[in-house]
Every structure is written in structure tokens, then in C-alpha cells.
Amino acid sequence: MHESPPGSPAPPPRRRSAPPWHPETWAGFVVRLTRTEVTGGLVLLASVAAALVWANLAPGSYTAFWSHTVGRADHAPELTAVVNRGLMTVFFLAVGLEIGRERTVGSLAENRNAVLPVAAALGGMVGAALVYLIVAVALGGDPSVLRGWGVPMATDVAFTLGALALAGSRVPTGLRVFVLALAVADDVASVVVLAFVSSTRVSVPSLLAAVAALAGVAVMRRWVRRAWWPYLAAVALVWWLFSRGGVEPTLAGAFVGLLVPGGGRERSPSTVLETAASPLSSYVILPLFALANAGVMLNGQIWSSSSGRSVLLAVVVARTAGKMIGISAAVVVVIRLGGARLPAGVNGRHMVGAAVLCGMGFTVPLLFAATEFAGAPVLFAGAQAGLLIGTAVTFVVGLAIIVARGGRSPDANGPTAAQGPGMG
């Protein structure tokens, strides 16, 4: 038996693994499970299914529960508003922190790596909006229906990366990185568009104060590089100013999150906040949001209303065809112009499949729908049903394209880019 030389430090004792029935084993399993995108996507999918079952089996109970007011004040908000305009700030904070990290140390750190996914994200958004408008005009051009052009634009990170994870070794690492970067760029552009379209009664003084507060955060990040709570306080301040200014207040999380310093540094404000916000967003906030907003009554007035059917059909076509056409066209143009190349191990079939999968999602699209179709429940229900159908179709078709004739990807088990939170 080999012995250590005299005077050398004793080797550390070998850690014995706990038996399968031990609580430590289960705790480790749960931690590993919650770090995967597929888990976040499955939790979100389960919440959507629960909302559908609840709304269709007990519509009165579903409506009464989510319309229940929180508090006893005259203007107490409904529970749906608490989720949509309050808790969703955590989701957007996670998005902003992810964007900041990817821009600092992730897939968007080098400008040349960001060209293709950013162009694809913009192409997908434009393609979805144009196809929606074309279908809506062809179905009669109702002005109330045309207002929903922004509904099909955004990509849902949790569903798209979750679907890619289900494909396993057939998905090249480069495709995962591309889709993550595309979703990040999509989130940035969607947040900006939503900020403009959500503005109803604009209060210029409040908006100027919000801009000043964000400028203050940009200055503060140079000096406050360890404490995280000042940035959380800044989110609350900007949320209040946005709310008074007529802009969707939850976007305060994204704008402040972009400015939090740290990137990938350990114990930086960005790392600490993202460590807390990401799982809270994926496993609490987004499931609550889906439960509160995905309860479309399939036997309701959608099918008997021409405007409801128009919204439904326009959203489905825009999500299934518009996103794919826009992303694919943008990729082809950028590559032909020499601005970028396909990621390593990725071919045209992979790219088309990923472009189709980018039509999945609810989170930001439902926020658009709630904003543009406020006071029009039939139109909102049509958007809900269209997003549900579009997500189901793009999931099946996109995954089939990616795995068709594809063996194991040579780099499928290689290192991936920094993983972001499971967000909508």
C-alpha cells in the first residue's frame, strides 16, 4: 500500500455519498433539478394547464378568486393586478440582471458574437408583427384587433430553452448559446417596445424623475459595488415613478437590473440579486402569472365573436410563421452580407427548428395583450387562446425539425454559455 512521505500533509478524508433515502441526497437532487431550464419550462407548463382546467371546470371560482381585492381601501387592487403589475417586477429584474451578465461575461460580451442573435431577434419581432397585421387586415381590419400587433413579438426564454433541453444530445452547444442570446436581445427590445405601447396617460414630470433616478443608479454603480440593497431600493423608487408616469411599472426591474454592477463576479450585487431573483421568478412568480392569466375559457365567446376569432388566428399565424420567417430571413441576410457565421456545429435545419421554437411563450406576450386589450375581454381571451395554440404547434414542429435525421451532436456535452434564469 502506498504511504505518504514523512512530513507531508495527510490527504483529506474521502467524502462518503449519502444513501438514496437520506434527506441530503434528496436536497441535492432538488437543487440540481431547479437549475435546469427544462424544469422551469415544465413548471410553467403545469401552471398553464392548471389555469385552463380551473377556468373551464369552475369558471365562476376562477374569476372570483383572481378578481378578489387585496386590502380594504377604496382603490384596492385585484389579485391579478398584484401579480401582473407588482410581482412581475421580480421577473423583469431577473431579465435585466441576465442581460447585464450576458453583456459582461456571457454570449453577448463580444460584439461580433452578438450580431447574429440580435439581428435574428429583431427579425423575428418584425416578422411576427407584420404577419399579425397582414392576417388581421385580411380578416376585416378591425382597429381594435390591429392594436394587438405587439402580442406575438416576444420570445419566452423558459419554454424555448426547456424545449431545447428536451432534445438532449441532438442540440449543438452553439445552438443553445444562439437561442439564449436571441432571447436576451428579444427581451431588451420587447421591454423597450412595451414601455412605449403601455404608456397611456403620460405624466412628463414623473417620467423625468424616473429617468433621473436611473441616471443616479448608473452613477451609483461606480461606487456601490458590494451592497445589493440600494439597487433593490432603486427598483422600488423607479416602479413608483413609472406607475405615476403612465408606463408599465414592472419594467423598472429590467431597467435597474441592466445597471446593477458585477457581471459574473462572486458576491457582487448582480450575482447576489440574480441568485435570489432567478429561482423566485422561475418557480413562484411565472407560475402565478400563468395561473392568473392563462385561464382562457375555451367554450366562451371567442368562437362566436368575429373579432375574437381574428385575434386568435392572427396570433397563431404570427407565432408559427411570422417568427420563423423573420428569424430565418435575418440570419440569411446577415450571413450573406458577411456580418456573421453560423455557430459551430449548427446547420440550417437546426436554425430553422430553433426559429420555430422561438414562437413559444406567454409571459411578455400576455402583458402586451393585457395592455392593448384592456376592457375587451373577448379580444384578450382570443390572444390567450392564440398564444396557447401557437405554443403547442411551435413546440411540436420545432422539436421535430431539430431532431429529424439528427444523430448525437458532437459538441452537445461541451460547456455551455452562462445559464440564465427560467423567465417569460
Q: What is the per-residue pLDDT across 221-270, written as a single tens digit (0 to 9) for each?
A: 989 988 999 999 999 999 999 888 877 788 899 889 989 998 656 788 99
**Phi, psi (degrees; rounded to nearest 5) at 344:** -60, 135
At residue 181, the pLDDT reads 77
Does residue 23 form part of some domain? no
Looking at the 3D structure of the chain, how many domains does it have?
A: 1
Burial zone of 10 (CB within 10 Å; 0-12 exposed, 13-18 middle, 19+ buried): exposed
At residue 367, the pLDDT reads 80
The residue length of the chain stands at: 424
Does residue 370 form part of some domain? yes
Q: Which three cell numbers stand for residue 198?
A: 403601455
Q: Which three cell numbers stand for residue 202?
A: 403620460
Each residue of 274-295: pLDDT tens digit? Answer: 889 988 988 899 889 889 888 8
Q: Which of 72-76, 112-116, 417-421 has the lowest mean pLDDT?
A: 417-421
At residue 339, the pLDDT reads 83
Instruction: Report d(CA 293, CA 363) in Å as an integer.
Output: 9
Burial zone of 107 (CB within 10 Å; 0-12 exposed, 13-18 middle, 19+ buried): buried
Q: Map residue 76 onto helix, strand or coil.
A: coil
Q: Which three cell numbers stand for residue 30?
A: 432538488
Instruction: Tell me the average pLDDT across 84-91.
Output: 90
Other beta carbons within 10 Å of 314: 29
Does residue 4 form part of some domain? no
Q: Which of these, 294, 362, 324, lies nearest to 158 by C-alpha position?
A: 362
Residue 34 pLDDT greater than 50, yes or no: no
Question: Where residue 327 falls among pLDDT bands split at 50, 70, 90?
Answer: very high
Does residue 270 form part of some domain? yes
Q: What is the CATH number of the domain that holds 313?
A: 1.20.1530.10
Other beta carbons within 10 Å of 50: 15
Name the one residue in this structure whose C-alpha cell is 421554437.
357
- For residues 378 and 301, the answer to whether their CB atoms sit within 8 Å is yes
Does residue 208 form part of some domain? yes
The model's pTM is: 0.72
At residue 414, the pLDDT reads 43
Percentage of residues of the chain with pLDDT beyond 70: 80
Domain housing 59? 40-403
Instruction: Tell me the average pLDDT across 353-359.
Output: 94
Does residue 50 form part of some domain? yes
Question: What is the CA angle 298-304-308, rounded to 5?
Answer: 75
Exposed e or buried b per residue across 378-413, where buried means at least 16 C-beta atoms within 10 angstroms of its C-beta: bbbbbbbbbbbbbbebbbebbbebbbeebeebebbe
Does residue 13 form part of some domain? no
Does residue 418 form part of some domain? no
Q: Which of these, 36, 26, 42, 177, lies nearest to 110 by C-alpha position?
A: 177
Query: How far is the CA of 262 from the CAs of 98, 238, 251, in angstroms?
Result: 11, 21, 21
Q: Which of these, 69, 80, 18, lies nearest to 288 by C-alpha position?
A: 80
At residue 24, the pLDDT reads 43
